[in-house]
Amino acid sequence: MVLANERSFQICARPSLMISDNDPRSSPVLDYLKQLHHTHAEFTGGEVATYIPELAKADPNWFAICLVTPDGQVYEVGDSKQQFTIQSISKPFVYGMALEDNTRSEVLAKIGMEPTGDAFNAISLESDTGRPRNPMINAGAIAAAGLVAGKSMSTRLQRILDTFSLYAGRELTVDEGVYSSESTTGHRNRAIGHMLRNFDIVDGDPTPIVDLYFKQCSISVNCRDLGIMAATLANHGVNPVTGKRAIRGEYVESVLSVMGSCGMYDYAGEWLYRVGMPAKSGVAGGIMAVLPGQLGIGIFSPPLDERGNSVRGIKVCDDFSRHFNLHLFNSPHANKAVIRLQYDGSQINSNRVRGDDEVFELRKSGRSIRVYQLQGNLVFSTAEVLVREIMSDLEDKKFVILDLKRTLEVNESACRLFHQLLLKLSAIGITLIFTHTSRAPMLRRYMKLKLGDRAAELYHAFDDNDPALEWCENKLLSELLPGYQSEYQLAPEQYELFQGLTPDEFTIIKGRLLLKTYRKGSVLVNTGDKALELFIVSKGSVSVVVTLASGSQKRLATFSSGMAFGEMALIDNATRSAIVVAETEVECHVLTVETFDALDDDHPHIKIVLLRNLAHSLSTKLRKVNREVSIFDY
């Protein structure tokens, strides 16, 4: 009861999100940011930093917000092109470079990862080791600058500029005015540098390293850059606008961790509690915050609070996080929705058209082929649900097909569970099959690595469900039907179309058929052709293929000996709606529309039988589509 009240109080307490007099065609997200900007622009608290004289020139009214999504959409409002220096927001990026350029233990020997309750410029080193407590305070940041690779200070600076430019997606430079102002007044940072030298945290003369640190802080950015840099961290290190990688993915979580625990100095705890996003602020008035996988945001507003964080920046993030429930620890539920639907081989068959005894057998035994159509992200929690569901229903199963077509990501923990599942299933004679594996590039590599020599035998992957189902059906049928073979040749009297004719009638119609042969791969029927004939496969097999809106091709049906196709022509005289391709060398019996119509005059009964057989074959096809519609819920 108490909880319910609290919750409803929270919802009611939220201010209304949208401004009313906006352009009906503009994005609701942009409208929201404009509203947020408008609300906080009126606030005048805080002081522009003056301890670096050049920073004192900033206009306290400058104010910008820039939100960037991991697919590269940029929403910017206010003074988003106003240049300012990155200052301490450089620290996480340089820490990431230190991790890339050294072993992790080398970095950890010189810089800790514990938050301090101190100000950014405190001379706080661990008493025993002299190690700065974390890379977000100046001492740790100077140590990190000392770990950037490069023969000379100018090559190191160039590496920093090149990396920052990759994050921002444009070429960044040092603001020389701010740099010299900072260098002239930066005695405290020089003192920190000497303390670091005293404890052997930096090698040699600390002065050039402190100078490099001044330069990295003086790199000029705008709010749009900050948003994109944040989104690059949200996007596993790849700039979502340019598609270029700025940092190796494996280090992103370390960078975000220190931002999460130490990024806002002595406000870090309350920030994490209220806003719940890894973030970093700088004394020029910038803040960047990252919600991994979802967004990056940059805010610029020079007036600072007593801890050195942008006052408006904090307010914007606080509101934004509350309005949209963005707290990191509020992650969305992953649940059973991972299984979009499931069906088995008695309900849905491949598009290979089969004879009656095969159809009968698949109706009876197709349950042993189970298909799980999956959706969304396959991560630990969703893969666990799936694996549990599969394991709970193994009775009479021979094949389990995992259809990945609608998945977004299959991460390493899902691959790990699938590998274990595959081994368990194969030990009890069940084959695990993956389809649409282009959705999961890591899966193939993972299985090859883990299965080694046994990969070819155990790992089964198909581009589409249809060939996977056909493969399972063929295996099942060859087990269950004595003498089953997927390629066979029927005599014309066995053709479906001629069932129910008297021997004399059969002889008459047979005499009116033409025999045509086609090479493997040739096109028998083309979309848009005038339909003048019906075909019956005598030898080999043909596939009916349509081109989907996406441009890819899909097999609608494969016919083998004794089956008729192109029959709609005899009925509606329309043009062809799909192409038909020879899968093998093919021989067909052909009945022209003209011959068929001429039966009206001399053999109307033959025509009646043929029409009845055609109606039967069309209704079988329609029933298949009906079954698919009821299962797939198109």
Residue 102: CB atoms within 10 A of its CB come to 17
CB of 120 to ligand GLN, least distance (A): 4
Q: Name the residue nearer to ligand GLN (CB basis): 36 or 259.
A: 259
Quick check: 121 binds ligand GLN (CB under 6 A)?
Answer: yes
CB of 189 to ligand GLN, least distance (A): 5
Site for ligand GLN in 181-200 (CB under 6 A): 182, 189
Any known ligand binding at 343? no
Quick check: 283 binds ligand GLN (CB under 6 A)?
Answer: yes
204-212 long-range contacts (CB < 8 A, ≥24 apart) are 206/142, 206/146, 208/153, 209/142, 209/145, 209/146, 209/153, 210/142, 210/186, 211/153, 211/183, 212/145, 212/146, 212/148, 212/153, 212/156, 212/157, 212/160
Any known ligand binding at 88? yes
Any known ligand binding at 180? no
Q: Name the residue nearer to ligand GLN (CB basis): 28 or 117.
A: 117
CB of 123 to ligand GLN, least distance (A): 12
Distance CA 88, CA 107 (A): 19
Site string for ligand GLN, 122-161 (x = CB under 6 A): ----------------x-----------------------
Q: What's the residue count for the chain? A: 634
Q: Name the residue nearer to ligand GLN (CB basis): 190 or 236.
A: 190
The two tokens of residue 405 are 């077509």
Any known ligand binding at 27? no
Site for ligand GLN in 594-613 (CB under 6 A): none
Residue closest to ligand GLN, measured at CB = 88
CB of 174 to ligand GLN, least distance (A): 12
Quick check: 220 binds ligand GLN (CB under 6 A)?
Answer: no
CB of 281 to ligand GLN, least distance (A): 7
Q: Name the residue nearer to ligand GLN (CB basis): 123 or 481.
A: 123
Q: How far apart are the first and last CA of the chain?
A: 42
Residue 448 is inside which H or E element, if any? helix 441-451
Which of 318, 165, 140 has the alpha carbon at shortest distance from 229?
165
Whether residue 232 contacts residue 242, with contact meaning beta carbons closer than 8 Å, is answered with: no
Q: Name the residue nearer to ligand GLN (CB basis): 121 or 165.
A: 121
CA-CA-CA-CA dihedral for 469, 472, 477, 480, to nearest 10: -140
Spell out the residues 6+ positions from residue 162 whose beta carbon is closer than 8 angstroms to its own.
Answer: none
Q: Name the residue nearer to ligand GLN (CB basis): 138 or 437.
A: 138
Q: Name the residue nearer to ligand GLN (CB basis): 312 or 589.
A: 312
The two tokens of residue 370 are 């189970």
Residue 380 CB-half CA count within 13 A: 1
Q: Name the residue nearer to ligand GLN (CB basis): 189 or 543.
A: 189
Backbone angles phi, psi at 208, to 5 degrees: -65, -30
Q: Name the residue nearer to ligand GLN (CB basis): 190 or 475.
A: 190
Residue 77 CB-half CA count within 13 A: 19
CB of 229 to ligand GLN, least distance (A): 15
Any known ligand binding at 283? yes
Quick check: 282 binds ligand GLN (CB under 6 A)?
Answer: yes
Any known ligand binding at 138? yes
Distance CA 64, CA 338 (A): 39
Distance CA 413, CA 424 (A): 17
Which of 262, 269, 277, 259 has the alpha carbon at shortest distance from 318?
277
CB of 67 to ligand GLN, least distance (A): 22
For ligand GLN, which residue of 99, 145, 210, 217 counts as binding (CB under 6 A)? 217
For ligand GLN, which residue of 80, 87, 368, 613 counts as binding (CB under 6 A)? 87
Site for ligand GLN in 285-324 (CB under 6 A): 308
Amino acid at 84: F
CB of 13 to ligand GLN, least distance (A): 33
415-451 as b/e, with b when 16 or more CB fall inside 10 Å? bebbbebbeebeeeebbbbbbbbebbeebbebbeebb
CB of 297 to ligand GLN, least distance (A): 18
Site for ligand GLN in 486-525 (CB under 6 A): none
Site string for ligand GLN, 232-271 (x = CB under 6 A): ----------------------------------------
Which of 280, 294, 289, 284 has the alpha carbon at shortest distance from 235?
294
CB of 308 to ligand GLN, least distance (A): 5
CB of 127 to ligand GLN, least distance (A): 23
Per-residue 3-state assignment (H helix, E strand, C coil) for 203-259:
CCCCHHHHHHHHHHHCEEECHHHHHHHHHHHHCCCECCCCCCECCCHHHHHHHHHHH
Distance CA 186, CA 119 (A): 16
Provide the sign of the torsion angle of the four alpha carbons 567, 572, 576, 577, taken in this order: negative
Spell out the residues 6+ positions from residue 597 whose beta carbon is closer than 8 angstroms to its own.
Answer: none
Size of the site for ligand GLN (CB under 6 A): 11
Q: Name the residue nearer to ligand GLN (CB basis): 197 or 436.
A: 197
Q: Name the residue nearer to ligand GLN (CB basis): 108 or 119.
A: 119
Quick check: 116 binds ligand GLN (CB under 6 A)?
Answer: no
Distance CA 496, CA 565 (A): 11
For ligand GLN, which residue of 120, 399, 434, 471 counts as binding (CB under 6 A)? 120
Q: Name the residue nearer to ligand GLN (CB basis): 240 or 303.
A: 303
CB of 226 to ligand GLN, least distance (A): 13
Site of interaction with ligand GLN (CB under 6 A): 87-88, 120-121, 138, 182, 189, 217, 282-283, 308
Binding residues for substrate: 88, 138, 182, 189, 213, 265, 283
Binding residues: 88, 138, 182, 189, 213, 265, 283
